[in-house]
Amino acid sequence: MKIAVISDIHSNLPALKAVQKAVQTHNPDKVICLGDVIGYNPWPSECVEIVRDWCDVTLQGNHDRDVANPSVYKQNNMAYEGLLWAEEELSDEQYTWVQNLPEKMQLECGNDTTYKIVHSHPTETDKYVRPRDFARMRPLLTDGEKGCWLGHTHIQHKAMVDERLILNPGSVGQPRDKDNRAAFAIVDTDENDVELCRTKYNIDKVINRVTEVGLPKKTGTRLL
């Protein structure tokens, strides 16, 4: 089975559309989103609609959860203002949808193949799992799980640990790994292998929209 894995869209519509177009060239059997559909950028409602329609499974990220309580990000103005904007822009139905997403699950991929999928850390909610931490994921997997896919850090990385695939597909809407292209991954579950992918998008369009709606300027310019 071929699965497209995306994460951390953060209301960046131009990036999401570019990734959607790039993913289609791989003709995946499923598309999985590891969470944080909303937050930071100017298009929360539009991104929710695309993800709801396109993705076969979507997890709940911390920003999806905390749109119900933006004040927890008071010390991070970009995150705080992004969630206030999302709270205002989402319809009641969209708000309910993001609030009721699962935090993690075991993904069945056929032929007795399963993966643990989660937004941040398998057992410690909101904890960052950086590339140097990937080897520590193995004890958290059952013998039947072929790997763990997670997001949250916005850093694209893969590693094979005891023949288990540990994967962060990177961020669609706000990469933090010194590559400003939108990130995603294509997993071949039969081979337990992955292709890390990037695609360009119009960052200036995001910067201009950030200014138009009154979000913090750095929300847009940091994408450069």
Note the pLDDT tens digit of each residue in 12-54. Answer: 999 999 999 999 999 999 999 999 999 999 999 999 999 999 9
How far, in whole angstroms, is CA 159 from its chain's centroid? 18
Q: What is the pLDDT of residues 78-106, one digit of tens each?
A: 999 999 999 999 999 999 999 999 999 99
User: Domain total for the chain?
Assistant: 1
Q: Tokens for 146?
A: 């072929």
Residue of 43, 34, 203, 188 whose CA lies nearest to 119: 34
pTM exceeds 0.95 for this model: yes
Split at pLDDT 50, 70, 90, the class of 112 is confident
The range of the structural domain enclosing residue 35 comes to 2-221
Angle at 131 between CA 31 and CA 143, to 5 degrees: 65
The residue with tokens 């993690």 is 104
- Give the pLDDT score at 110: 82
Max intra-chain CA distance, the chain = 51
Per-residue confidence (pLDDT) for residue 180, from 0 to 100: 98
Task: Give me the CATH number covering residue 29.
Answer: 3.60.21.10
Residue 183 pLDDT greater than 90, yes or no:
yes
Interval 179-202 mean pLDDT: 97
Alpha-carbon dihedral sign for residues 99, 9, 145, 31: positive
CA 141 to chain centroid, in Å, comes to 21
Any idea which of 11-15, 111-115, 163-167 has the lowest mean pLDDT? Answer: 111-115
Q: Please give the mean pLDDT across all residues of the chain.
A: 97
Q: What confidence tier does 111 reach under pLDDT thresholds 50, 70, 90? A: confident
